[in-house]
Structure 1
Amino acid sequence: MEDITNQCAGLKLLEREGNEVDLTLTVRKNGCVLAGKFCTKRRVNLESVARVMKTVRRTKENFEVYDMGDNRVIFHFSLKEDLDKVLLLSLWSKYLLILHKLGAEEVVTKVKFNNASFWVQIHGLPTMCQTKEAGTVIGGTLGKVEKVDMDAKGFHLRGHMRIRVSMDITVPLCRGRLVRLGGPSPQWVDFKYERLPIFCYWCGMVDHDECDCIQWI
């Protein structure tokens, strides 16, 4: 190991390799490009998925899909409004598809697709506790709260309340939380995830189903 370290320490750029190339004027700072990754351990048939996506997602102009390997893709749009629409509403897929607006200095193979946004229903919370403040506090235990579905007065007087949260998908999904409402013991509330693609019922991860789960195997 020490020999390898010494050899690496002696490496240096050749004179020609050290010459810098200025690409400042060639960079597209506002390119209509989304990077995406399908959360599955299986190989995705990109051609088939892209065909379904273009049918389901009604954009004004067509968009191109490029396979980057390892279930990573690039979506190139002609119109920025189409990109914004897809980024907001996401794209339909059998598997969870995480989208990321690619910056001018980013490389798609180095983007960390660790976060995804979900609408989460909170069931079992008393009606008078279904406030924006309560949704923000509970959602904060899951990740970054992006929106709490409330009326103009800050209430959600229905059977459950809804919050949109950006969550770390490298950890299992949470089934619920214990909340304290001032009584002698905490109360359990259930989480239900809207439009959740394939996920594992055994371990709660979204990058595989139960057939590919190590715990199940």
Structure 2
Amino acid sequence: MLRFLPRLWGMDNSVVGRIVPHSRAQFLFPSREAMDLVIRRGPWSFNEWMIRDIPLRFNTYSVVDYIASTLGDVAKTDFNLDAAANREYVRVCVNWPLAQPLIFHLRFRFGGQSGVPITFRYEKLRNYCFRCRSLCHDVDECEEPEQEYQMHPPGDDMTNEDPIQKMVVA
């Protein structure tokens, strides 16, 4: 991440990053203007999510915003009512703590339907540990016990009942 983000910003020769306590990163910019430019052009790769599988009649801005807010602080919701019926997903940007493992699905209750799985997909996801779902290291540096690798992320098996259930008011 320390090398990747400055390259993505187009500032790989002028921005320096370091790891600071509590699994955080700090970047030093050559000027306030350079930092403001990066902030204005954001959000960057670790914050973009796509929410899929919302039942069509519940695909409204308030429901999408509620689902996104269960993940964390919502920075932006790209919801277009005219396109909602034609798209399989809604794009949201959630400020995600790097130390927290990624979530790939949660189950929600929609009207009379309980346990409806909603999937979360990530855009531009790089340097991610498929073993423990961490954004702080890759699988080669993971300290979790090695298990058989799956073709999909951990916790993404929709046949098992997920203990996390959220209520969406009909």
Same fold (TM over 0.5): yes
- Counterpart code for 1:74: L
Amino acid at match of 2:68: G
Report matched runs for 1:27-176 at 5 Å.
38=2, 53=7, 57=9, 64-66=14-16, 72-77=26-31, 80=33, 82-90=34-42, 118-151=47-80, 153=81, 156-157=84-85, 158-176=87-105
Change (3 A) 1:67 1:119: closer
Residues 15-65 of structure 1 show CA distances to partners (whole Å, capped at 9, x for unaligned) of: xxxxxxxxxxxxxxxxxxxxxx73xxxxx6xxxx69x82xx6468xx9833
C-alpha displacement at 1:121, in angstroms?
Answer: 0.6
Larger radius of gyration: 1
Q: Does 1:195 align with 2:145?
A: no
Check conservation: 1:131, 1:155, Cα contact below 8 A.
no
Shift of 1:91: 9.3
What count of residue pairs does the alignment treat as equivalent? 141
How far did residue 165 of structure 1 move?
0.6
Q: Percent identity?
A: 23
Residues 88 and 130 (structure 1), Cα distance of their counterparts in 2 relative to 1, 3 Å cut: farther
State the SS of the aligned residue for 2:131.
Answer: coil
Using CA pairs under 8 Å that are at least 6 residues apart, name the structure with larger relative contact order, 1 or 2. 2
Distance change in 2, residues 1:207/1:123 (3 Å): same
Please report how far the alpha carbon of residue 68 of structure 1 lies from its aligned counterpart in structure 2 after TM superposition.
Answer: 5.6
Aligned-partner Cα distance in 2 for 1:171–1:181: 27
SS at match of 1:203: coil
Write out per-residue CA displacement over residues 69-125 of structure 1, whole angstroms, 9 at most, x where no aligned residue.
777541113x72x43231233598xxx7xxxxxxxxxxxxxxxxxxxx612111111
Instruction: Decide which of 118, 134, 138 is 1:205's aligned counterpart.
Output: 134
Q: What's the secondary structure of 2:15's corresponding residue?
A: strand
- Whether contact under 8 Å (1:210, 1:216) holds in the other structure is no
Alpha-carbon distance, 1:154 to partner: 7.7
**Structure 2: distance between partners of 1:67 and 1:168:** 17
Task: Confirm or deny: 8 A CA contact 2:43 2:93 kept in the other structure.
Answer: no
Q: CA deviation at 1:199?
A: 0.8
**CA distance, structure 2, for counterparts of residue 73 and residue 83 of structure 1:** 9
RMSD: 3.3
Seen in structure 2, the aligned counterparts of structure 1 residues 214 and 185 have a Cα distance that, compared at 3 Å, is same
Q: How far 1:216 moved relative to its partner?
A: 3.8
